[in-house]
Structure 1
Amino acid sequence: MARNEPDAGSGGPAAPVGLRELLVELNDLKRVRSSGRLGSIAERLFAQGWGALTGGADPEDVALAVTATTLAACRLCDLDAAFLSAAGLAEATVSEILVSGFDAVAAEVEEPLRTRLRDRLRQRAGLPAGPLPGFVAALAHQPRAGVTCPGKPRILLEPPENHAEHCLMVAVYGVVLSPFYRADPTTVFLAAMAHHFHNAAMPDAGFTGEMLLGDHLGPIMARTTQWALDELEPGLRESVVRARAVLPDDATAEGRAFHAADAIDRVLQIAQHLRAATLTMDTVLGEMELVHAGPVKGFHDRVLEAMRIP
């Protein structure tokens, strides 16, 4: 793990703005769901990542495979390898489609990371599926606090994300951001996947609640974090503890990559609510072509005009 190195933005930008559009789009995977599948795509990938880790997969393999899958899902959503194979497509064709989905959004991912991620989709090797620790479901059922500030009422935006979704998104962001900070992506991924271990048992009252706990906050967080760590076998637990050592500050490249990912995800989660609230019909019908080109578009347009819609 690279420690005490200056990040690539020293004396310049603190983060790579070229990745902004990708990170905004990825954030919606916390809200994409499909029939017959429980939870959002992000929630399910969080579980898949932990299942692979408890099943004995190398953490680097898990970090790259989960990140590659997440980027491909950005446009393909749940048209994933499992569905495409079940629909009768040959394995080579499945890989080709997944790579196409990845390439549609990954142009700004820095090399050689972009090629390494693409190769995970082109030459897919299944990850093991070990037993899921209890904290996986607990984090998926634990809502995030919303916008809180000591001394002020909270701002709740529905539906809330859950902690599994947040951890997965921060982990993927961290991997994608890692080249900019010259950080080890595996360490950032593991740290992010485990950074809310305490919330598996501890309800999230946000910054406000944490401040009201005062001196009790540290011991409570340490105790509840340990409960989650104790669910892991010793080897994996030690790897996670080492990775979590970068969480307290931005003194390491990995710490900077993690905290950049965490801050970006927290703010983009709120931004999507604001974006939805300001959406206009000009965008929907014009830019996004909700009534899109096809053999009956002319008729559709006349119907909407006759009905005075919008």
Structure 2
Amino acid sequence: MSGVGVGTTLLRQLGDLKRLRDARGPGSLADRAFVRGWRRLVQGADFERIALEETARALVATRLAGVDGSVLRRAGLERAEALEVLERAFDAALEVGGPELGDTEDLRAVLPQLVDDADDAEDDRDRVPPFVLALVDQPRAGATHPSTPRIIVEPPESHGDHCFVTAAYSALIAPRHGVARGDAFVVAMAHHLPNGDLPDAGYAGEVLLGEHYLRILDALEQRSLEQLPAELAGRLRILLPQRETAETPVGRVFNAADVLDRVLQVHHHARAAAFTASQALEDLDIVHPGTVQTYQLGVLADAGLGIR
């Protein structure tokens, strides 16, 4: 058994960071977290610290989207007030995590640091290796097969989106397998290094490249690793081979997180295609409760757009 220990509701909500954006920088919140994480990695930050802070930030964002500590402080909240908001969002996120999520106090403990951190996305982009920005620009292929037409879904996720969300999943799953959150997080962040140069043709591409496929992956992975500081590249050369097996704890964590993200992405597109206006009105209260709700519902009813 996989022993994931995290409810898919929480994983799905973390996956939605691929689709959330704000005005403070380019790309999705997941893309920006991917770039920020790599900036910290090349600067020599501790793997565990990066994993804890970026995963905690992602959990908060499932409730607050781009409203983070720097936004709250800019808006005039005192440090203690901003921390209280982040803790409230963090706790709300974990309510759907499932009973087997385990101890998350190490994640909660880093929230004070998130109050003080600035999120300068443009500055991060200036301080990462070229392959990082290429992965943010490189679309994922989605579901492909060598003998059938490609299924096109819009908009496609990026490799940065996928790698970061898989890293957050990995960090949550890791303790259940006796794996350090930091090692699990970094393997997932780095698992698509070849795609800095290699456009994604999906499963169809793997099959049709045939006997050349693994040689191409190895050559292009080395090109990306050569862009990194020697110590970091050396640690990745030890960790990354474990993504190819389910026989080690690190490999089991990675492969569980990777397949969950790939399949939940497909579920997202299926849900989006089936979404109805009635769901927004009836289930999601898009006309929010409040002093003008009755008036607004009347306007919609008069226009023929109300709840049916």
TM-score, structure 1 length as denominator? 0.91
Q: Deviations over 1:3-48 (max 9, x none)?
A: xxxxxx4xxxx34465211001111100101124211000000011
Aligned match of 2:167 in 168, 171, 177?
Answer: 171
Matched, 1:262 2:252: no
Q: 2: CA distance between counterparts of 1:23 and 1:148? A: 24
Q: Which residue number in structure 1 is paired with residue 49 of structure 2?
A: 61
Q: Which residue number in structure 2 is paired with residue 111 of structure 1?
A: 102
Aligned match of 2:293 in 284, 291, 297?
Answer: 297
Q: 1: CA distance between counterparts of 2:297 and 2:271? A: 26
The letter of the residue matching 1:207 is Y
Matched, 1:252 2:248: yes
Secondary structure of the 2:110 match is helix
Q: 2: CA distance between counterparts of 1:92 and 1:171? A: 29
Aligned match of 2:206 in 203, 206, 210?
Answer: 210
Aligned match of 2:71 in 48, 63, 83?
Answer: 83
Q: Which residue number in structure 2 is paired with residue 135 of structure 1?
A: 131
Q: 2: CA distance between counterparts of 1:297 and 1:139? A: 44
Q: Which residue number in structure 1 is paired with residue 20 of structure 2?
A: 32
Matched, 1:122 2:112: yes
Deviation of 1:296 after TM superposition, in Å, equals 1.3
Do 1:95 and 1:121's aligned partners in 2 also have CA atoms closer than 8 Å?
Answer: yes
Q: 2: CA distance between counterparts of 1:236 and 1:242? A: 10
Q: Which residue number in structure 2 is paired with residue 6 of structure 1?
A: none
Deviation of 1:126 after TM superposition, in Å, equals 4.8
Do 1:16 and 1:180's aligned partners in 2 also have CA atoms closer than 8 Å?
Answer: yes
Q: Which residue number in structure 2 is paired with residue 3 of structure 1?
A: none
Count of residue pairs the alignment pairs up: 297
Q: 2: CA distance between counterparts of 1:106 and 1:287? A: 22
Aligned match of 1:220 in 206, 216, 219?
Answer: 216
Q: 2: CA distance between counterparts of 1:195 and 1:18? A: 22
Identity %: 38
Q: 1: CA distance between counterparts of 2:163 and 2:142? A: 15
Do 2:4 and 2:256's aligned partners in 1 also have CA atoms closer than 8 Å?
Answer: no
Q: 1: CA distance between counterparts of 2:263 and 2:148? A: 19
Matched, 1:235 2:231: yes
Q: Deviations over 1:36-81 (max 9, x none)?
A: 4211000000011111111121111111111111111111111012
The letter of the residue matching 1:110 is L
TM-score, structure 2 length as denominator? 0.91
Q: Which residue number in structure 1 is paired with residue 149 of structure 2?
A: 153
Deviation of 1:282 after TM superposition, in Å, equals 3.3
Secondary structure of the 2:157 match is coil
Q: Which residue number in structure 1 is paired with residue 189 of structure 2?
A: 193
| Structure with more helix by fraction | 2
Matched, 1:102 2:98: no
Deviation of 1:281 after TM superposition, in Å, equals 3.2
- Structure 1: gaps spanning 5 or more residues: 1-8
Do 1:81 and 1:94's aligned partners in 2 also have CA atoms closer than 8 Å?
Answer: yes
Do 2:21 and 2:29's aligned partners in 1 also have CA atoms closer than 8 Å?
Answer: yes
Q: Which residue number in structure 1 is paired with residue 179 of structure 2?
A: 183
The letter of the residue matching 2:152 is L
Matched, 1:50 2:46: no
Deviation of 1:127 after TM superposition, in Å, equals 9.3
Matched, 1:273 2:265: no
Q: 2: CA distance between counterparts of 1:181 and 1:35? A: 38
